[in-house]
A and B are shown apart, each in its own frame.
Chain A
Amino acid sequence: MGTLLQQVINGLSLGSVYALIAVGYSLVYSILLFSNFAHGGFLVVGGYLCYFALNTLGMNIWLAGAFSLVGAGFAAIATERLAYKPIRERTSVTLYLLIASMGMSIVIENIFVVIAGGRFRALPPVIPTNPVNVFGLATTSAFDIISLVTAVVFLGGLQIFLTKTKWGLAIRAAAYNLRIAGLMGVNVARLISLVFFVSGLLAAVGGIFLSVRYTLYPQLGMITIKAFVAAVIGGLGSLPGAVVGSLILGLSEMLTAGFLSSQLRDLVVFSLLVVTLVIRPTGLFGKNVGEKV
């Protein structure tokens, strides 16, 4: 019983970090309708900025965190302006954006290979990882609790931003139909930049937690594949779907690792994806778009 509860807490914690990444990815998808493969790059930018802020600039974790969040947000805006905007303005074929985003993901990864080197780095112990007893039922690490709480705070913040503010309303309108939102007087260019900023910021939060959980290295962005899988299981473009998909993924990964074998966890994740899509081709919460002839 204790092991089960412990694995469930671990799973929720991992799933909530996936959720931070998947929500940003899904947000971009809901506006521009393409899979932004450079999303993993934003996460790496966040992780490295935090590392440099802590080690070289000697900031404390709050300042370094804020610094890396804002930095990754601006990196996301820069990516959009440099690579996606010229394509977006020329064609409406989202496939080209997808290829460009794969290119950008390789570029960002290798910028860090060149300037920081390919080796694994450990963040200084800024987030406590000592064992914590949960109501006398199970023992888990403080880090898992902290990442779970942080993710909930950020996702809640996003929800408030999307439902209570004017820009949030604009984003929801654009997710419904970008062109008509533009015609209604929304500044589309600024809106897209804002969406990328938010998605980069959320990815950086995920990046910091992932680089504490594992270590920091340029290929860390590959983990976003899991977040993409989560977003697809939940239904592309659906934010609640992304969160639910991430939690399912985190739980199944940790439960497999805990009770079967940790080598099988990725296999379980991908099988889950394929089974979900075979049963529901647009994911759990995806819009079933009826095609017009």
Chain B
Amino acid sequence: MSAYTEGILILLMINGIAAMGVSLLTGFTGIFTLGHAAYLAIGSYTTAILTLDYGFHWLPAIIFGGILAMILGYLIGIPTLKLFGDYYAIASIGLAESIRLIIENWQSVTNGARGIPGIDTFTTFPVALGFFLVLAFFAFNLINGRIGRAFMACRDDHIAASLLGFHTARYRAFSLALSAFYCGIAGGLYAGFISFIQPIMFDMLKSTEMTAVVVFGGLGSMSGCLLGTTIITLVTELFRPISQYRMLIYGLVLVLVMVIRPEGIMGQNEFDMKLFRKIASYIRKPKTTSERG
């Protein structure tokens, strides 16, 4: 495997972990976020500072970054998750920009806008794969379990869910904390992958991209968000030679997907036997079934 292919695969794993985090919140709990790059930033800065300044081993540093992002997410979630819809989306932009500006201005710890160079490149392929598999296993089990169903109940009808006895506010905050944890871990791995981090990497465009990938793959589909990540990551790599048009194409793809198939590639389906049976029945008698996702 050449270094380039390995790099892309590691990037895919990292983006996949972040996408699963956003998918838990946006896809399964129905809270639209435009500020998750902040948790990525928390994770990568924590990892970088712990390994460089305090001599931590990278593994506890990454996990510590994830936990810090989780705590922060929970603390942010308690007051802000009573907001709904676009209000939370705009508030999350505000929060993420605030966190980025704090990192940028806290010169003594974060080295400000110049960023932190010389982080150990500990994110090798086995490391990224290990983290990815563990977190993916956890995410897929979670969404099929009691907590996952509670998340979906909050998404589909939060009033009905609260009438059924779910503490919706607590579940929403928990969902945000969990997704922040995933993004924090992804951030830590990212720091160990490119070995140089800078506040500007975690701006609003990054946040938008993280959410767009999840919507692109299908809201409410864990495998969909991984598929979406894979496609978007590969497309952006593929168009690297014509970098001038890269973002233009990315924007067009986003608009086209929304116009042609707004529910995303996978809709709410997962890659499992149920989907194959659905496809099989669709192929057998295409006229009677009207399954469109």
Contact = CB atoms under 8 A, between A and B. Distances in A.
Interface of A: 29, 34-35, 82-83, 86-87, 90-91, 93-100, 102-107, 109-111, 113-114, 222, 225, 228-229, 232, 236, 263-264, 266-267, 269-271, 273-274, 277-278, 281-283, 291, 293
Contact of B82 (A102, A266, A281): A281
B95 A274 contact: yes
A263 B105 contact: yes
Interface in B83-97: 83-87, 89-91, 93-95, 97
Contacts of B250: 106
B233 interface: no
Interface string B71-110: 0000000011011111101110111011001100100000
B247 interface: yes
Contacts of B219: 95
A103 B252 contact: yes
Given A236-B86, A277-B80, A91 B262 contact: yes
B35 to A, nearest CB: 10
Contacts of B87: 232, 236, 277, 281-283
Chain A interface, >50% SS class = helix
B212 A232 contact: no
B245 interface: yes
A65 to B, nearest CB: 28
A87 B262 contact: yes
Contacts of A293: 159-160
B91 A100 contact: no
Nearest to A281: B83
B259 A86 contact: yes
Given A95-B32, A102-B254, A291-B159, A110 B204 contact: no
Nearest to A108: B251
B139 to A, nearest CB: 22
A35 B255 contact: no
Given A103-B258, A107-B255, A236-B87, A270 B97 contact: yes
Contacts of B102: 267
A114 B251 contact: no
Contacts of B244: 113-114
B251 A107 contact: yes
Contacts of A232: 86-87, 90-91
A270 B94 contact: yes
18 contacts: A87-B258, A94-B85, A96-B215, A96-B262, A99-B212, A100-B258, A102-B254, A103-B252, A103-B253, A114-B244, A114-B245, A229-B90, A232-B87, A266-B101, A274-B98, A277-B83, A278-B79, A293-B159
Contact of B247 (A113, A225, A229, A266): A113
A225 B86 contact: no
CB-CB nearest 6 A-B residue pairs: A103-B254, A106-B251, A107-B251, A103-B255, A270-B94, A110-B248
Contacts of B83: 277, 281
A96 B258 contact: yes
Contacts of A225: 93, 97, 204
Contact of A267 (B98, B159, B252): B98
A227 to B, nearest CB: 11
B269 interface: no
